[in-house]
Amino acid sequence: MKEPRQVQCRSLEHFQKYCSRSAETLEKAVFLAFGFVSAQSQGLLKPAPSPKPRQKPKILAPNGYIIFSNAQAAKGAFSLIELLVVLAVMLILVTMYWNHGPSKRDRELTACRANLEKVYLALQIYSHDNHDKYPVVTNAVTSEEALAPLVPHYTSDTAPFICPSVGDGSSPTGTSFADWKISYAYYMGRRDSDTDRALMSDAQVNTDSKGVGATVFSETGHPPGNNHGKGGGNVLMGDGTVVSTTANAQFAISVQPPVVLLNPKP
C-alpha cells in the first residue's frame, strides 16, 4: 500500500491554493467522525433494516384461487392422493395387528398342553417312588381309575386333569377323582424309560393302536374324542414333551401289551 504523498507549502499562494484546501477537508472529516461517534453513543443511529427476502411469484389456479404462495410451501405440502395412501397403509397395519393374535383353538391347545405338563410332573414323582413305573391299577377300564393313585399323595391339584376346552368341574382339592370324570386318555403300563412313546393324550375316538393317518380325535366335533371339537388334540410323550396333532395321526401311536390305552369316562 502506498503512503500518502506529503506536500510542502513553499509560498503563500501555494498555501492558499492547495494546503488551505487540504486543511479544510481534514477539518470536515474530523468533525464528521466526532459527530458519528456521538450520535451512535446516544442511540440516535439505528441499524439499517435487513432486506426482505424476495417473494416467489404466486401460483394461481385457472379459477383465480391461490394454490401455493411460493415454491417452498409447494415442496412441503402433501397432496390428497399421498394422504389417502398413508391412511390406507395405517388401516392395513392396524387390521393386521388385531388379527395376528392366536386363534381360539390355539389358545385352548396351549392351555391343554400346560395341563398335561403339570400331570407329567406328578407322574415323574410317582415313578421315582415306584421303580420307574407309572401307575398301574389291575382291571382298570378308565383313565380315572388308573390315575387315581396320584391324588392326593403326589398332587392335590385336580384341575390339570380337566381339559380347558371341556370345562368340566374339577373334583374337590385333595380328594381322589376315581368317582369323577377327567379329560385325558392314559397309556397304562408305560415306564419312565419309554421316552419316545405316548404316555397321555386328549380323549381319543377309541383305544386301538394307531398308525400314521389313522383317526385319533373326532373329525366331526362330536364325541368321542372331541375335547377340542374337530380341531385335533395334544399327546404327552414319555420325555415330557407335548405334541399337537390334527384329528388324523401325524405320527404312529402304537399300543402293545402289556400297555393298554384307557379313555376317560364317556
- 231 SS3 class: coil
User: Does residue 108 fall inside a structural domain?
Assistant: yes
Q: Which of 126, 125, 118, 122 is nearest to 159 (CA)?
A: 118
Q: How many domains does the chain have?
A: 1
- 244 SS3 class: strand
**Rounded to an integer, what distance in angstroms lies between the CA atom of residue 257 and that of residue 120?**
22
Q: DSSP label at 146?
A: H
User: Does residue 37 fall inside a structural domain?
Assistant: no
Cell of 1: 500500500
- 160 SS3 class: helix
Task: Encode pLDDT of 128-187 as tens digits.
Answer: 999 999 999 999 999 999 999 999 899 988 899 999 988 756 666 666 677 788 999 999
- Cα 51 → chain centroid: 55
pTM to 2 decimal places: 0.64
- Cα 111 → chain centroid: 20
**Rounded to an integer, what distance in angstroms lies between the CA atom of residue 174 and that of residue 171?**
8
User: Does residue 48 fall inside a structural domain?
Assistant: no
Q: Are strands 233-237 and 198-202 parallel, antiparallel or unpaired?
A: antiparallel
Report H helices in the chain: 12-14, 20-41, 71-76, 80-99, 104-129, 143-147
**Rounded to an integer, what distance in angstroms lies between the CA atom of residue 16 and that of residue 178?**
141
**Rounded to an integer, what distance in angstroms lies between the CA atom of residue 19 and that of residue 4?**
14
Q: What is the CA radius of gyration of the chain?
A: 48
**CB contact at 8 A, 259 and 188:** yes
Task: Encode pLDDT of 217-265 as tens digits.
Answer: 999 999 999 999 999 999 999 999 999 999 999 999 999 999 999 999 9
What phi and psi values does residue 21 have, to the nearest 5 degrees?
A: -65, -40
Give the pLDDT band (50/70/90) at residue 38.
Answer: low
Say yes or no to pLDDT of 28 above 90: no
Cell of 10: 513553499
Task: Encode pLDDT of 69-79 as tens digits.
Answer: 555 555 566 78
Taken in order 131, 143, 162, 244, is the CA torsion positive or negative? positive
User: Does residue 26 fall inside a structural domain?
Assistant: no
pLDDT at 15: 46
User: Does residue 42 fall inside a structural domain?
Assistant: no
User: Does residue 252 fall inside a structural domain?
Assistant: yes
Query: Which residue bears the cell 400331570?
Result: 119
**Rounded to an integer, what distance in angstroms lies between the CA atom of residue 183 and that of residue 58?**
79
Say yes or no to pLDDT of 23 above 80: no
pLDDT at 212: 95
User: Does residue 205 fall inside a structural domain?
Assistant: yes
* CA distances from residue 162 to 118, 170, 196, 258 in whole angstroms, order as listed: 11, 7, 24, 27
Task: Encode pLDDT of 170-199 as tens digits.
Answer: 666 666 677 788 999 999 999 999 999 999
Per-residue pLDDT, averaged over 20-27, amounts to 56
User: Does residue 238 fall inside a structural domain?
Assistant: yes
- Cα 143 → chain centroid: 40
Highest mean predicted confidence (pLDDT) among 30-34, 46-50, 233-237:
233-237
Residue span of the structural domain in which 196 resides: 104-262
